[in-house]
């Protein structure tokens, strides 16, 4: 059985081990699904060596939503992003983007991973300009766009700096600016802040969420960090162990303009993170309660 789940105090402890469909938009939105996973499944290998990564995933992502995805290692979180990007075709079902199945590279999305993949022999401005150069944009257009992006991500004064002269947070800002260079409507983010220390991580979380909301971007954000998933998400999709299916879809009832640094004292935030932890914890650990 499939169901769409909105978490509340009364719902605590309820779960569904089958697929689920999200239909909750950002508050006030009546948009139809921008991205739809329809009975999506992905296998790797052949014959006896076949690995079923995901199966029977049904999920709607609405335009402008910030969707976080959590689940055990190997459950297919990154596979979902790769399918939306057109990198991995489905084995079963479909991934539909703006009403059409994704069969090839999806040029409407931008992808940001754990590694920034910046080019060390290029300065900041030249790294950001790379996607525009590939598109063969005029030099004047590139220069104007790069200057806009440098200001947008807070790298003023560092356009002529090499990557070795940047802090970890500044490199992430440069990588984000490069992803935004060709103005994708959807951002696919695969644990982009996992290597950062706690203070820098919350700074980048705040800046990226605020920026995406301001620009009206749709975001699919993969993380292993439950606190990060609830802090950032409008909805949080919890996947099961491999083969990954949608175990539960949780609507995060926090203000869209939330202050991430003050969430730890918010009762809904605390309760929701506890609920997700209980879903993902091994049975023996979940029965004993949360451990430090």
| Non-local CB neighbours of 67 within 8 Å, separated by 6+ positions | 22, 61, 218, 219, 220, 221, 233, 234, 235, 236, 237
Q: Same domain, yes or no, for 48 and 175?
A: no
Flag whether pLDDT at 23 surpasses 80. Answer: no
Whether residue 15 is predicted with pLDDT greater than 90 in this model: the reply is no
Q: What is the mean pLDDT of the chain?
A: 86
CA–CA–CA angle 114, 118, 124 (5° rounding) = 125
CB neighbour list of residue 266: distance below 8 Å, 6 or more residues apart: 254
Low-confidence winner among 14-18, 34-38, 176-180 (lowest mean pLDDT): 14-18
* 212 assigned to some structural domain: no
DSSP structure string for 18-70: S-----PPSTT--PPEEEEEEEEEEEES-GGG-EEEEEEEEEEEETT-EEEEE
- Residues contacting residue 203 through CB under 8 Å, at least 6 positions apart: 169
Query: For residue 277, what is the domain's CATH number?
Result: 3.40.50.300
98 and 130 co-located in one domain: no
Q: Is residue 265 part of a domain?
A: yes
Strand blocks (E) in 136-216: 186-190
45 and 82 assigned to the same domain = yes
Asked if residue 153 and residue 141 are part of one domain, the reply reads yes
Nearest Cα residue to 244 out of 4, 51, 71: 71
Shared-domain flag, residues 131 and 87: no
- Band the pLDDT of 290: cuts 50, 70, 90: low
Per-residue confidence (pLDDT) for residue 179, from 0 to 100:
94
177 backbone φψ class: left, alpha, beta (φ>0; ψ -120 to 50)? alpha
Choice between 26 and 188, residue whose per-residue pLDDT is larger: 188
Identify the domain boundary among 183, 203, 226: 183
If asked whether residues 97 and 121 sit together in one domain, one would say: no
Average pLDDT in the 167-190 region? 94
Indicate whether 88 belongs to any domain.
yes
Range name among 46-50, 98-102, 115-119, 183-187 with the lowest pLDDT average: 46-50
Claim to verify: residue 128 and residue 74 sit in the same structural domain: no
Collapse the DSSP code of 94 into the 3-class scheme (helix H, G, I; strand E, B; otherwise coil) and give the result: strand
- pLDDT of 12: 37
Whether residues 18 and 98 fall in one domain: yes
Whether the link from the prior residue into 264 is cis, omega within 30° of 0, is no
pLDDT for 47: 83
Query: Residue 203 falls within a domain, yes or no?
Result: no
Q: What is the mean pLDDT of the segment spanning 282-289?
A: 57
Is 12 in the same domain as 90? yes
User: What's the structural domain count of the chain?
Assistant: 2
Residue 175 structural domain: 109-183
The answer to whether the CB of 64 falls within 8 A of the CB of 209 is no
Q: Which of 164, 183, 202 is the last residue of a domain?
A: 183
Question: pLDDT at position 264, please?
Answer: 87
Q: Which pLDDT belongs to residue 19?
A: 35
26 and 66 in a common domain: yes
pLDDT at 257: 87
Q: Residue 197's pLDDT band (boundaries 50, 70, 90)? A: confident
Burial 248-265 (b: 16+ CB within 10 A, else e): bbbbbebeeebebeebee
Chain segment 222-257, per-residue pLDDT in tens: 999 999 999 999 999 999 999 989 999 999 999 988
Determine the Cα–Cα distance for residues 32 and 58; give it in Å rounded to an integer.
Answer: 15
The answer to the question of residue 126 being in a domain is: yes
Predicted local distance difference test score (pLDDT) of residue 27: 44
Interacting residues of 233 by C-beta distance below 8 A, sequence separation 6+: 66, 67, 68, 221, 252
**Quick check: is 211 in a domain?**
no
26-71 pLDDT, tens digit per residue, is 543 455 799 999 999 999 988 888 998 999 999 999 999 999 999 9
Q: Is residue 210 part of a domain?
A: no
Question: 145 with 169, same domain?
Answer: yes
Strand order in the sheet with 218-222: 109-112, 186-190, 218-222, 66-70, 235-239, 246-251
Average pLDDT over every residue of 13-36: 51
Tell me the pLDDT tens digit for each residue of 119-160.
999 999 999 999 999 999 999 999 999 999 999 999 999 999
């Amino acid at each position: 059985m499939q169901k769409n789940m909105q978490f509340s105090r009364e719902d605590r402890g309820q779960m569904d081990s089958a697929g689920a469909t999200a239909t909750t938009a950002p508050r006030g939105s009546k948009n139809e699904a921008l991205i739809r996973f329809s009975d999506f499944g992905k296998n790797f290998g052949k014959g006896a060596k076949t690995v079923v990564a995901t199966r029977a995933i049904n999920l709607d992502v609405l335009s402008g939503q910030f969707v976080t995805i959590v689940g055990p290692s190997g459950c297919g979180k990154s596979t979902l992003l790769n399918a939306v990007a057109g990198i991995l075709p489905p084995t079963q079902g479909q991934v539909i983007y703006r009403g059409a199945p994704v069969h090839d590279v999806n040029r409407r999305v931008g992808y940001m991973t754990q590694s920034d993949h910046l080019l060390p022999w290029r300065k900041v401005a030249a790294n950001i300009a790379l996607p525009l150069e590939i598109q063969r944009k005029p030099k004047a257009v590139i220069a104007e766009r790069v200057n806009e992006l440098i200001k947008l991500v807070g790298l003023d004064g560092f356009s002529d700096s090499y990557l070795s002269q940047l802090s970890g947070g500044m490199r992430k800002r440069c990588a984000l600016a490069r992803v935004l260079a060709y103005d994708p409507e959807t951002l696919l983010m695969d644990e982009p802040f996992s290597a950062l220390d706690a203070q820098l991580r919350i700074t980048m979380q705040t800046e990226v969420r605020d920026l995406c909301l301001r620009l009206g971007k749709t975001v699919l954000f993969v993380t292993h960090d439950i606190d990060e998933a609830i802090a950032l998400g409008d909805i949080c999709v919890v996947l099961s162990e491999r083969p990954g299916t949608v175990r539960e879809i949780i609507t995060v009832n926090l203000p869209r303009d939330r202050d991430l640094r003050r969430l730890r004292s918010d009762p809904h935030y605390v309760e929701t993170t506890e609920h997700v932890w209980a879903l993902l914890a091994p049975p023996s650990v979940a029965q004993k309660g949360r451990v430090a």
